[in-house]
């Protein structure tokens, strides 16, 4: 027995020595400790880890209250060990508490989305076991469900959700919620995996859309350690679905998201008008007449309950609008969506500058798009070898003999006619 303890102690000492010899970086929140590689790569991984965590916290509307650090070990790819996975998350219980470690194999074809996925999985695991200080040795650890990981990643700011909407629209029959929750994405083919991600996006969107949806979703995550074998019952225990019918809410959300595919993309001018309409928020407070308020006005004072509700609705509306907007305006719409979400949480720092910069960018884009339209009209009217027909009505009108307007008899017109006759050669 003593010999085994001595060997184990020696192994721990050896591991501590190796890790101590490697250069490391600590992320700004100090939750992520990155070993290996060079400082630039460690900094990039640190930024990705912090952004991944912040996206989740923003979705859940929680502050950062981590308890367990996450170790990220960067190793170069070895030709004699091709079977080593590019990202491997280890989660275990040690004598000093929980241990979370991600081993990343660095290669030329590094998959950033895979790293982001493992980072999010690690952050969710830390949340699940944050209050589980003492876990018996040999216990089976609960993993965050794949639909939760896929859905959170899909709802991250700046993501292109159009392929997910297309996958939903292409599905012949909507899958029942209970059946979807029991799917195992690891055994699906590429098409099935794409549809699974689209359903995951739908489910997390449905949960967030519930009344104060971020709070029950946070509670659901923290209590996954006690989850049963009935995933639908676990969800229903935390969310108040309309009339207690989760399936009806699921089908309604699917229909709403699928209907977005039927809309054509808006033109630039149509997108501009729609964005202007969205950014004028209607605030309806008790015993007060409803009023329209611009987004920049809400960045200048502490918000009321009604104003927060309006901002939350704006954030959801902008999420839908981004799918329909002209591609040129999509980055701007996404940033407005982020700003609305920040203001709804009471975060106003730097928002006025961002709004001012967005306004200036929109003006520049509008000017450039107008110039492009003018050039394309000129080119089509004068340079194209074949007629497009767009100017047929105009040219027809111009070639018709112009009828002279009836001569006016008022004193001023008569005076002008006299002058014209005198000065004509």
91: β partners = 100
Strands (E) across 201-356 are located at 280-283, 291-294
pLDDT of residue 1: 41
User: Which of 106, 136, 166 represents a domain boundary (last residue)?
Assistant: 136
One domain for residues 234 and 268 = no
CA atoms within 13 Å, Cβ hemisphere of 172: 1
| Digit-coded pLDDT (tens) for 155-182 | 998 788 888 988 898 887 889 999 999 9
158: left (phi over 0), alpha (psi -120 to 50) or beta: left
Question: What sign has the CA pseudo-torsion 294, 297, 299, 304?
Answer: negative
Count of Cβ atoms closer than 10 Å to residue 2 Cβ: 6
Mean pLDDT of 82-106: 78
CA atoms within 13 Å, Cβ hemisphere of 178: 9
Domain with 255 in it: what CATH number?
1.10.390
| Digit-coded pLDDT (tens) for 324-338 | 788 888 888 889 998
pLDDT of residue 178: 93
Q: What is the DSSP letter of 78?
A: -
Q: Is the pLDDT of residue 77 over 80?
A: no
Segment among 10-19, 103-112, 118-127, 397-406 with least mean pLDDT: 10-19
- The reply to whether 404 falls in a domain is no
| Digit-coded pLDDT (tens) for 177-204 | 999 999 999 899 988 999 999 999 999 9
Which residues lie closer than 8 Å to 77 by C-beta, 6 or more apart? 84, 105, 106, 107
As a whole number of angstroms, the distance between CA 11 and CA 13 comes to 5
Order the strands of the 97-106 sheet from edge to edge: 24-26, 32-35, 70-76, 97-106, 87-94
Task: List the domain range (segments joined by +) for residue 189.
Answer: 145-262
Domain with 130 in it: what CATH number?
3.40.30
Q: What is the DSSP letter of 97?
A: E
Of residues 392 and 7, the one with the higher pLDDT is: 392
Which residues lie closer than 8 Å to 185 by C-beta, 6 or more apart? 146, 150, 192, 193, 196
One domain for residues 245 and 160 = yes
Total number of domains in the chain? 3
Confidence of residue 385 (pLDDT cuts 50, 70, 90): low
- The reply to whether 396 falls in a domain is no
One domain for residues 222 and 234 = yes
One domain for residues 81 and 188 = no
Question: What sign has the CA pseudo-torsion 365, 370, 374, 379?
Answer: positive
| Digit-coded pLDDT (tens) for 62-76 | 999 999 999 999 988
One domain for residues 272 and 253 = no
What angle, rounded to 10 degrees, do the helices at 330-344 and 351-382 form?
A: 160
One domain for residues 256 and 182 = yes
Query: What does pLDDT average to over the chain?
Result: 81
- The reply to whether 9 falls in a domain is no
| Digit-coded pLDDT (tens) for 2-21 | 343 343 344 444 444 444 45
Q: Is the pLDDT of residue 257 over 90?
A: no
- The reply to whether 407 falls in a domain is no
One domain for residues 254 and 169 = yes
- The reply to whether 310 falls in a domain is yes
- The reply to whether 388 falls in a domain is no
User: Which of 221, 237, 262 represents a domain boundary (last residue)?
Assistant: 262
Is-contact 90 100, C-beta < 8 A?
A: yes
């Amino acid at each position: 027995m003593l010999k085994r303890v001595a060997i184990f102690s020696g192994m721990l000492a050896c591991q501590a020595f190796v890790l101590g010899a490697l250069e490391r970086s600590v992320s700004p929140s100090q939750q992520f400790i990155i070993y290996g590689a060079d400082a630039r790569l460690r900094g990039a991984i640190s930024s990705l880890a912090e952004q991944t965590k912040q996206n989740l916290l923003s979705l859940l509307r929680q502050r950062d209250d981590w308890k367990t650090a996450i170790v990220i070990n960067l190793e170069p790819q070895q030709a004699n060990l091709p079977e080593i996975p590019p990202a491997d998350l280890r989660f275990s219980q040690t004598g000093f508490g929980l241990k979370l470690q991600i081993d990343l194999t660095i290669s030329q074809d590094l998959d950033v989305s895979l790293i982001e996925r493992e980072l999010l999985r690690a952050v969710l695991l830390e949340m699940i076991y944050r209050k589980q200080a003492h876990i018996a040795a040999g216990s089976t650890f609960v993993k965050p469900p794949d639909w939760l990981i896929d859905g959170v990643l899909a709802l991250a700011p700046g993501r292109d959700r159009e392929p997910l909407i297309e996958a939903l629209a292409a599905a012949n029959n909507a899958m029942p919620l209970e059946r979807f929750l029991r799917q195992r994405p690891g055994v699906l083919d590429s098409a099935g995996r794409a549809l699974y991600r689209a359903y995951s996006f739908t489910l997390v969107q449905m949960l967030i859309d519930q009344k104060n949806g971020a709070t029950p979703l946070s509670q659901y995550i923290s209590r996954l350690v006690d989850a049963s074998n009935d995933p639908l019952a676990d969800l229903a225990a935390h969310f108040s679905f309309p009339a207690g019918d989760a399936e009806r809410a699921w089908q309604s959300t699917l229909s709403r998201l699928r209907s977005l595919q039927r809309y054509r993309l808006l033109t630039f001018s149509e997108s501009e008008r729609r964005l202007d309409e969205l950014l004028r928020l209607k605030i309806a407070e008790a015993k007060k007449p409803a009023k329209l308020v611009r987004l920049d006005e809400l960045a200048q004072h502490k918000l009321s309950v009604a104003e927060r509700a309006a901002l939350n609705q704006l954030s959801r509306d902008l999420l839908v609008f981004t799918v329909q907007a002209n591609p040129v305006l999509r980055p701007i719409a996404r940033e407005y969506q982020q700003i609305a979400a920040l203001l709804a949480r009471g975060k106003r720092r730097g928002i006025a500058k961002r709004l001012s910069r967005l306004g200036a960018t929109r003006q520049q884009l509008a000017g450039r798009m107008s110039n492009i339209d003018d050039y394309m009209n000129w080119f089509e009217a004068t340079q194209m070898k074949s007629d497009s027909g767009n100017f047929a009505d105009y040219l027809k009108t111009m070639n018709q003999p112009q009828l002279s307007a009836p001569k006016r008899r008022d004193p001023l017109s008569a005076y002008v006619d006299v002058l014209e006759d005198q000065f004509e050669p």
